[in-house]
Amino acid sequence: MTGETVRRYLRTTAWQSNLVGALITYAYFRFIDYEPPQGNRPLTAGEIAYFVVGFAGLIASGAWLAARWNRPLQTVPPPPGPAGDVARRRALQQPYVVAGITFVGWALAGVIWGVGWQLIAGTFSPADSVRSMFGITVISGTVATTLAFLIGERRWRQALPAYFPEGRLTAVEGAPRLGVRARLLVVLLVVAVIPISVLGMASYQTAKALLAAGAGAAGVVTHMLVVVVFLVLASMLASIGLALSVSRSVAEPLGRLRAAMAEVERGRLDTRCPVVSNDEIGELTEGFNGMVQGLQEREVLRETFGKYVSEEIRDEILAGRVTLEGQLREVTILFADIRDFTPWVEATDPRDVVRDLNAYFTEMETAIRAHGGLVVQYIGDEIEAVFGAPVTRPGHAGQAVRAALEMRARLADWNAARARTGRPLLRNGIGIHTGTVLAGNIGSADRLSYALVGDPVNLASRLQGLTKELHADVLVSGTTRARLDGEAPLVPLPAVKVKGRTAEVEVYALG
């Protein structure tokens, strides 16, 4: 969109609407008001010069007004600030201004040729001047103005989105708004009033001719019939043309909106429908775009949430079938911790540590999520995960043990790839325990996190710490084993005393 595009739009709209107005003027004074004030005498040089000067003056004045008005529209998209606000407001006012300039031009034409022309020719009379101004300004000028608005608005709609990349046309203050109902009413008035006005003038002229015709009255009546047929056909054509133009101004944006809705139905949430007006259809389109943007943001949130929980858990939570308020829940807790983490960090570049940790966590979380688990949090190099919450699962103990087996296998494969590149291997310890905890959102009024509270959490963490002493990479509590139905290869170990508990804890190593 450039200044040349704006000028081309103005030129095309101006010549089309004014050409139709000129043809209507000719037809009107040729067939309807067929007694022009100047009679049939030859034109003088002064009259010809007056015509040329008057016509050139109208064109120059219209071009000057249009250029002055469109000066802020040369920069697309408009800059931020007051200058941009002026440009956006004028962009919405453009069809109205074009129509206004057109009507002013035809009003001046009525004065120039309805008054000035007769004064130059020396044939001035108030009645003839009123008749000429009526034909030029009211009849031809109204039609030309209506066409200038309808044609100009339709073409300008193609350029309007460039001034409003984000839409929001209805939020611009000071811009006129022609609703669909008002648009139809204006066209109806034009179609109804102008033919009646022309028919009234034709009847008046025919009555005058009949009074003066005498024996030639039959010819006058025949002429009147021709005028009536001409008016009927012209009114039909004008009605059809204006109806098509108005219906197109409503149907085209609705068609684009329907196509955009079909794209959204196919899952294309980046679809946006261009807003090309500030009427009811523009409001509807802006509402549609806002709705689709909300759906897109929800989908982003959904996908982002899916990075923290499994897709199944995510969908349960978003569907409202899972409450995140604190609930007592029997779950299985898994803790995993990297062995000899501190020496490795001290001997490794920090950037390599972050990269390796991210890769390690990715492997471990993939195994956890594959078996229905939720990573509750990362604590340094430690992973805390839960099975059986927030979605209740009857087999959560078995899922936790199977996840530990996959974590072991994934760590072995990951270490094998590291060994081939000469990088140090990492080991971890995993502790698993089943018990009843309080699970839900915990935190401050401004920030919450899903957490588990209860003694089973502490015991699972202690079991993870005991893997160093018992030389096992995965330790399972007796409580968890009791819920496995013998489905995992467990090796019994001597009962151990855990810090914070008086009774010994039954533990098993995962074979």
Q: Which tens digit of pLDDT belongs to each residue from 455-485?
A: 999 999 999 999 999 999 999 999 999 999 7
Closest CA to 136 of 23, 10, 15, 11: 23
Q: pLDDT digit string (tens) for 76-93?
A: 788 888 888 888 888 888
Domain-terminating residue out of 264, 279, 297: 264
8 Å CB contact between 437 and 452: yes
pTM of the model: 0.58
Long-range contacts of 320-327 (CB under 8 A, 24+ apart): 322/390, 322/391, 323/390, 323/440, 324/390, 324/440, 324/441, 324/450, 325/440, 325/441, 326/438, 326/439, 326/440, 326/441, 326/442, 327/438, 327/439, 327/440
pLDDT of residue 33: 72
**Which residues, in sequence order, are bridge partners of residue 428?**
338
Distance separating alpha carbons of residues 263 and 257, to the nearest angstrom = 10
Give the Cα separation of 431 and 419 in Å (integer): 26
Shared domain for 246 and 341, answered yes or no, is: no
3 state DSSP class of 244: helix
User: Do residue 129 and residue 228 come from a single domain?
Assistant: yes
Residue 301, pLDDT score: 72
Q: Dihedrals φ, ψ of 493, to 5°?
A: -120, 160
Residue 245, helix vs strand vs coil? helix
Beta-carbon contacts of 265 under 8 Å, excluding residues fewer than 6 positions away, are: none
In a domain, 306, yes or no: no
Q: What is the pLDDT of residue 210?
A: 63
- Whether residues 329 and 190 fall in one domain: no
In a domain, 273, yes or no: no
Instruction: Compute CA 53 distance to the chain's CA centroid, rounded to the nearest angstrom.
Output: 50
Give yes or no: residues 72 and 190 share one domain: yes
| Distance, CA of 32 to CA of 416 (rounded, Å) | 99
Count the domains in the chain: 2
Same domain, residue pair 353 and 247: no
Output the six-digit token pair for 266: 């196919």
Say whether both 430 and 354 belong to one domain.
yes
Determine, yes or no, domain membership for 285: no
pLDDT for residue 313: 63
Amino acid occupying residue 34: Y
Q: Is residue 45 domain-resident?
A: yes
The answer as to whether 95 is a domain residue is yes
Neighbours of 412 (CB within 10 A): 10
Looking at the structure, do residues 244 and 367 belong to the same domain, yes or no? no
Neighbour-count burial for 199-219, b at 16+ CB within 10 Å, e otherwise? bebbeebbeebeeeeeeeeee
pLDDT in tens, 260-308: 999 988 888 888 888 888 888 888 888 888 898 888 888 877 776 666 6
Strand, coil or helix: 510: strand
User: Which parts of 331-444 fold into alpha helices (H)?
Assistant: 341-346, 350-370, 396-420
In this predicted structure, what is the pLDDT of residue 2?
53
Q: How far apart are CA 438 and CA 326, in angstroms?
A: 6
Domain span including residue 154: 3-264
DSSP 454: S
Question: How is residue 115 annotated by DSSP?
Answer: I
Residue 318 lies in a domain: no
For the four alpha carbons of 170, 171, 172 and 176, in that order, the dihedral sign comes to positive
Same structural domain, 249 and 335: no
Q: Between the CA of residue 407 and those of 402, 410, 414, 469, 483, what are the distances in Å?
A: 9, 5, 10, 21, 21
Indicate the residue among 222, 244, 264 that finishes a domain. Answer: 264
Instruction: Measure CA 77 to chain center.
Output: 17
Which of 264, 283, 307 delimits the end of a domain? 264
Q: Is residue 259 located within the same domain as residue 371?
A: no
Residue 203 located in a structural domain? yes
Per the CB < 8 A criterion, the answer to whether 154 and 245 are in contact is yes
Burial 319-336 (b: 16+ CB within 10 A, else e): eeebeeeeeebbbbbbbb
**pLDDT beneath 50: ranges in the chain:** 36-39
For residue 337, what is the domain's CATH number?
3.30.70.1230
Whether the Cβ atoms of residue 403 and residue 373 lie closer than 8 Å to each other = yes
pLDDT of 358:
95
Q: How far is CA 297 from CA 164, 283, 301, 308, in A?
A: 21, 21, 6, 17
Pairing of strands 428-443, 382-387: unpaired
Residues 206 and 353 in one domain: no
The answer to whether residues 254 and 352 belong to one domain is no
One-letter amino acid identity for 291? M
Map tokens 């929800």 to a residue: 298
| Same structural domain, 338 and 437 | yes
Strand partners, 443: 448
Burial class (CB in 10 A: 0-12, 13-18, 19+), 273: buried
| 370 occurs within a structural domain | yes
How far is the CA of 375 from the CAs of 253, 367, 450, in angstroms?
Answer: 48, 11, 10
Distance CA 254, CA 246 (A): 13
